[in-house]
Amino acid sequence: MTGNPVPTSTQQFILGEGLRWDGRREELLGVDILAGQIYRGHIDHDGAVSLIRDYWVPGTVGALAPIDANDGWLLAAGRGFVLLRPDGLLCPLAQVAPAGTRMNDGACDPQGRFWAGTLADDFRPGGGALYRYDQKGHTQVVLSDLTISNGLGWSPDGSIMYLADSGPRTVHAFRFNGDSGTISNGRVLITMTEEVGAPDGLTVDAGGDLWVAIYGGGRVHRYSPQGVLREVLSVPGAQCTSCAFAGPELNRLYVTTATEGWSDEQRSAEPAAGLVYRFDTDATGRPADPFRPDPKWWTAATS
């Protein structure tokens, strides 16, 4: 079973999201989408998170991924993909999303392609899409007609890809071909009622269970690979946005929350909202898969 939530931050994020465990440096990564903030954290022996450094980008930043054989990070930011160097310099790589939309959550598949979704600025149904950015910098729209493309994850054997669409409150499962980077046989694995909330960020543990942050529900749901609800974790913040296993043992679940659309007065009245929380669990997670660029293309694109 899972323990009680423990706050690990003091900053009230506007839209905290995108938690990832960067195995290269053993750091917890995260973003504040609307503030354009990226942060790196060190996890102490007791699970507390101390800030190493944060970075800022113009506009929004939806997600980030470590990069294989590189010290930087690949961002899904604004309307495209950007390299963030450790010194804070930004190298734009591709602008792909149409005007009136922005990049949202994203993650790398086991082979090193970066997948990232979008949503429309007005949240209109069908205004979002899912993009695949491959190892040679080629971009393809894999899914369209989404609303709020959100959490992504893969089964431990890499045969299934999961995708949350927060608009219709569904989590999809697709057959995944790692060689070609294609999906097929899509089906709705999980559907949530409006009273429960909407699926947001998610992670898949080493045993194959899905841990899904529930926006508007103040909770994280743990599901079996078959979509059966196994556990509910209560979080002190209704806008629960993402989760990731982190730390040396990868058995602590870190959860972001948000205060999206709130006034300063509301944030002061609800000091527990917008923080990052952790849970001690009986599960073991996995580090974030890195982006694995083709060296020749990468050198030319980033020099």
CB-CB contact of 101 with 60 (8 Å): no
pLDDT for the residue numbered 3: 83
What is the average per-residue pLDDT within 140-149?
98
**Is the Cα torsion angle 131, 36, 299, 109 positive or negative in sign?**
negative
Number of domains within the chain: 1
Percent of residues in the chain assigned helix, strand, coil, to nearest 5: 5, 50, 45
User: What's the residue count for the chain?
Assistant: 303
pLDDT category of residue 141 using cuts at 50, 70 and 90: very high
Structural domain contains residue 235: yes
Structural domain contains residue 285: yes
**Euclidean distance between CA atoms 172 and 153, whole angstroms:** 10
- Tens digit of each residue's pLDDT (9 = 90 or more) over 4-19: 999 999 999 999 999 9
CB-CB contact of 174 with 161 (8 Å): yes
Structural domain contains residue 1: no
CATH of residue 274's domain is 2.120.10.30
Annotated active-site residue 200? The verdict is: yes
Structural domain contains residue 90: yes
pLDDT for the residue numbered 2: 78
Structural domain contains residue 26: yes
Structural domain contains residue 276: yes
pLDDT above 80: residue 1? no
Domain hosting residue 122, numbered range: 6-302
- Tens digit of each residue's pLDDT (9 = 90 or more) over 179-191: 999 999 999 999 9
**Euclidean distance between CA atoms 283 and 68, whole angstroms:** 26
Cα angle, residue 146 at apex, residues 145 and 151 outer, rounded to 5°: 155
Structural domain contains residue 249: yes
CB-CB contact of 280 with 58 (8 Å): no
Q: Which of 105, 134, 165, 200 is catalytic?
A: 200
User: pTM value?
Assistant: 0.97
**Euclidean distance between CA atoms 34 and 127, whole angstroms:** 19
Residues in contact with 10: Cβ distance below 8 Å, sequence separation at least 6, in sequence order:
275
CA distances, 233 to each of 124, 151, 227, 276 (Å): 30, 18, 16, 14
- Tens digit of each residue's pLDDT (9 = 90 or more) over 265-295: 999 999 999 999 999 999 999 999 999 999 9
Structural domain contains residue 194: yes
Across the chain, mean pLDDT equals 97
**Euclidean distance between CA atoms 200 and 143, whole angstroms:** 17
H helix or E strand, kind and range, residue 269:
helix 264-269
